[in-house]
Chain A
Amino acid sequence: ETGVTQSPTHLIKTRGQQVTLRCSSQSGHNTVSWYQQALGQGPQFIFQYYREEENGRGNFPPRFSGLQFPNYSSELNVNALELDDSALYLCASSLPGAEQYFGPGTRLTVT
């Protein structure tokens, strides 16, 4: 059984640029959630996707957007990057309503 994988591992971008992060869900899981974790804080919920549609969103602006594909993999897109977007971005997969299993994360640095 393959766990949740994320790519890339690390990324450095400049303020104002756009970034795309990728997540492959655990086998059999059709729900993907994305979280942002700033240094020294707990993860904060960004949004969740189920059957290719956004299915819940946290307190993040519209420049944070996502996609889910028919194979349940997902992308997180962030436009107009700001310095405060520097964080660890975590993807978690699950069956609907069940416990979520996290990937290793993507460390984004915005300079």
Chain B
Amino acid sequence: DAKTTQPPSMDCAEGRAANLPCNHSTISGNEYVYWYRQIHSQGPQYIIHGLKNNETNEMASLIITEDRKSSTLILPHATLRDTAVYYCIVRVAREWGGTASKLTFGTGTRLQVTL
């Protein structure tokens, strides 16, 4: 799996958009970009994933650059409950079995949403 690089921490004011960047310059053509978050002492929560097109769901939007070497997770209106560690993960698309099955977590970005 390709390595990802994320800033260690970010701050965001409540009600503003939170834009979390991720660099994955060695991503392969068959690897998806996944985003998870982990609120203190809880299990990671799946947010969104994409291959090359921008994706949006009820939680967030995912913007992937045309060359797929970086992406941005957007929380459009951050709330205090969005304070968490956000993990960007690249993973082989729809392949399972062996080590391809795993999610490889880095250290993530600690997002602090403030009043």
Query: Which of A's residues lie within 8 Å of B, judged by CB?
Result: 4, 31, 33, 35, 41-45, 48, 50, 55-58, 88, 90, 92, 96-105
Cα distance, A40 to B96, chains bound together (Å): 28
- Residues from chain A with a CB closer than 8 A to the CB of B105 are 35, 42-44
Choice from A33, A42, A101, A102 contacting B101 with Cβ under 8 Å: A33
| 27 CB-based A-B contacts, threshold 8 Å | A33-B101, A33-B103, A35-B105, A42-B87, A42-B105, A42-B106, A42-B107, A43-B105, A44-B105, A45-B99, A45-B101, A45-B102, A45-B103, A48-B101, A48-B102, A55-B96, A55-B97, A55-B98, A56-B96, A56-B100, A56-B101, A90-B44, A92-B103, A97-B96, A97-B101, A100-B103, A103-B43
Q: Interface residues of B: mostly helix, strand, loop or mixed? A: loop
- Residues from chain B with a CB closer than 8 A to the CB of A45 are 99, 101-104
Choice from A41, A56, A98 contacting B107 with Cβ under 8 Å: A41
B84-98 interface (Cβ within 8 A of A): 87, 93-98
Would B95 and A58 count as touching, CB distance under 8 A?
A: no
In the complex, what's the smallest C-beta–C-beta distance from A19 to chain B, in angstroms? 19
Would A55 and B106 count as touching, CB distance under 8 A?
A: no
Would B43 and A97 count as touching, CB distance under 8 A?
A: no
Would A56 and B102 count as touching, CB distance under 8 A?
A: yes
- Residues from chain B with a CB closer than 8 A to the CB of A102 are 43-46
In the complex, which residue of chain A has the Cβ closest to the Cβ of B36? Answer: A102
Candidate in B43, B45, B49, B98 with the most chain A CB atoms within 10 angstroms: B43
Given A45-B99, A99-B46, 17 further pairs, Cβ under 8 A: A31-B101, A33-B101, A35-B105, A42-B108, A44-B105, A45-B101, A45-B104, A48-B102, A55-B97, A56-B98, A58-B102, A88-B41, A90-B43, A92-B103, A97-B93, A102-B45, A105-B41
- Residues from chain B with a CB closer than 8 A to the CB of A98 are 94
Cα distance, A26 to B108, chains bound together (Å): 26
